[in-house]
Amino acid sequence: MTITITAFEAALDKGRGLARDMRVRWALEEVGQPYAVRYVAWEEFKEEAHLARNPFAQIPTYEEGDLTLFESGAIVLHIAERFPGLLPQDAAARARAIMWMFAALSTVEPPIIDRDVVKYAERGKIWQGERLAMTDARIRGRLRQLSARLGESEWLDGAFSAADIIMAHLLSRLEGSGLLEERANLAAYVARAEARPAYQRAFAAQKAAWEANT
């Protein structure tokens, strides 16, 4: 059955792999499943056709037969349950991998997204500098905790899993900020994830789409 995902027609990151369709592309590449992409233009996000796929007017979405899903975390977990390779067989290890997906999205990602809100939506506000410092302090706290837990491990919990896709992708948003680079084991973790052939294929596909669509 054909899998169709949605992505920005013109992503604001200009093909740098930051949009959340990367997570879904990467997961599909890891499990070796082909997919089609429906590119959504900015003016289409709040139209009924897209809101039927995602009531929150976001990408990515996932369509396969009668099933339509939104939320990158949910889609990556669905792919990991549907096709082998991204979740451990052992029940406890599987529960921990899913736990890391939630931890990445609920605990690690919010201050990282907030940093972009400060940088772009609060540009020109007199408080921008002070808010950026507060946001960076929150991010540093989370990275310190994550770094301590990861230690010298290759991946979050045993073998590479769906959780590493989510965590490495959201940490990649910090590349070049200096924050990720303060924690050598986290910077190496992201680099290791991005060196995977499946990541490389997904990255090339979204970059080629940006170049073709703009």
Ranges of beta strands (E only) in the chain are: 3-8, 36-40, 61-64, 67-70
| Distance between CA atoms of residues 168 and 190, nearest Å | 5
The values of phi and psi at residue 136, to 5°, are -60, -35
Name which of 54 and 205 has its Cβ closer to a second copy. Answer: 54
**Which residues of the chain form contacts with a second copy (CB under 8 A)?**
51, 55-58, 66-67, 69-75, 77-78, 81, 92, 95-96, 98-99, 101-103, 105-107, 109-110, 113-114, 121, 125-127, 130-131, 134, 142, 145-146, 148-149
User: Tokens 């994830």 — which residue?
Assistant: 193
Name which of 146 and 198 has its Cβ closer to a second copy. Answer: 146
CA-nearest of 72, 4, 68 to 33 is 4
Q: State the minimum distance, in angstroms, from the CB of residue 211 to a second copy.
A: 29
Name which of 145 and 214 has its Cβ closer to a second copy. Answer: 145
Q: State the minimum distance, in angstroms, from the CB of residue 93 to a second copy.
A: 9
Q: Tell me the three state secondary structure of residue 20.
A: coil
Name which of 54 and 172 has its Cβ closer to a second copy. Answer: 54
DSSP, residue by residue, 141-156: HHHHHHHHHHTT-SSS
User: Tokens 């990541």 — which residue?
Assistant: 199
| Distance between CA atoms of residues 61 and 5, nearest Å | 5
Name which of 7 and 205 has its Cβ closer to a second copy. Answer: 7
Q: State the minimum distance, in angstroms, from the CB of residue 155 to a second copy.
A: 15
Q: State the minimum distance, in angstroms, from the CB of residue 3 to a second copy.
A: 13
Q: State the minimum distance, in angstroms, from the CB of residue 132 to a second copy.
A: 13
CA-nearest of 188, 184, 181, 189 to 164 is 189
